[in-house]
């Protein structure tokens, strides 16, 4: 079970939102590259970046901060990023810069053909992010809830060749209320490819529950507010996950 620290970028700062609301942001650092180096030193084996401004604008908006993060850590650990990725040129720019994987979210729902094309052009580097509220996919920085069921979308994108799916329960994101294990497992069972959990990770009990779901295809978990506010010690949590996976 891979634990993946999140660095969410808003106006060049490392922040965390509650339930995806841009107006409810807590700034944890104005030096995101230093934060990335900190998590690497704590034993992170992958980082998760989100361009929050880009997710709402539909185009990259935190490129300078992203470039600095990659310069600091990309030579040592993989880095994935989502937010504002709507075309192949953006994907190529990010991968050339040093990103390992790009995450397609809103564009995957609005234009499924884009995912297929991206998987053909950049095989092995495409992740789809499915953000859901009550099982229904949300887009445009979570501002719009669609009529698409998360499981149906997941099956479609698995067939397109994405390497994994990040499943975020919007209602739990940033709320420290526990991971929605049941919904994440159901998605993993439906799609048959690795699923990374996101939203609500709170304490070591969540780590234990996630590790128990690893056999069902839940291979990782993104953690944000818990490691920034200290309800989880990242290094301790990864050691626990490693021991439970042995």
Enzyme catalytic residues: 8, 131
Spatial distance between the Cα atoms of 173 and 157, rounded to a whole number of angstroms: 23
Q: What is the pLDDT along the chain (246 residues), one digit of tens a residue?
A: 999 999 999 999 999 787 667 777 888 999 999 999 999 999 999 999 999 999 888 899 999 999 999 999 999 999 999 999 999 999 999 999 999 999 998 889 889 999 999 999 999 999 999 988 888 888 776 667 888 889 899 999 999 999 999 998 876 555 556 788 988 999 999 999 999 999 889 999 999 999 999 999 999 999 998 999 999 999 999 999 999 987
Q: Domain limits of the chain?
A: 2-245
CA distance 166 to 69: 21
CATH of region 2-245, choose from 3.30.160.100, 3.30.70.260, 3.40.50.300, 3.20.20.70: 3.20.20.70
Structure tokens at 189: 């069972």
**Separation of CA 152 from chain center:** 19
pTM value? 0.92
Q: What b-and-e string marks burial along 2-26, b requiring 16 or more CB atoms within 10 Å of the CB?
A: bbbbbbbbbebbbbbbeebebeebe
Contact 32, 20 (CB under 8 A): no
């Amino acid at each position: 079970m891979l634990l993946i620290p999140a660095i969410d970028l808003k106006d060049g700062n490392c922040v965390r939102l509650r339930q995806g609301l841009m107006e409810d942001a807590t700034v944890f650092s104005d030096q995101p590259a230093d934060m990335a180096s900190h998590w690497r030193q704590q034993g992170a084996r992958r980082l998760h970046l989100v361009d929050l401004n880009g997710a709402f604008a539909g185009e990259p908006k935190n490129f300078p901060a992203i470039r600095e993060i990659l310069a600091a850590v990309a030579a040592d650990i993989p880095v994935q990023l989502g937010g504002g990725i709507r075309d192949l040129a953006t994907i190529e720019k990010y991968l050339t810069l040093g990103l390992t994987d790009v995450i397609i979210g809103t564009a995957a729902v609005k234009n499924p053909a884009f995912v297929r094309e991206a998987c053909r052009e950049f095989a092995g580097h495409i992740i789809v992010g499915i953000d859901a509220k009550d099982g229904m996919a949300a887009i445009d920085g979570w501002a719009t809830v669609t009529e698409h069921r998360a499981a149906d979308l997941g099956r479609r994108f698995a067939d397109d060749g994405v390497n994994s799916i990040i499943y975020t329960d919007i209602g739990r994101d940033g709320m420290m209320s526990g991971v929605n294990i049941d919904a994440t497992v159901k998605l993993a069972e439906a799609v048959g490819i690795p699923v990374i959990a996101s939203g609500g990770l709170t304490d070591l009990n969540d780590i234990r529950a996630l590790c128990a779901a690893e056999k069902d295809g839940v291979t990782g978990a993104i953690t944000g507010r818990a490691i920034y506010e200290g309800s989880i010690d990242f290094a301790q949590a990864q050691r626990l996950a490693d021991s439970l996976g042995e």
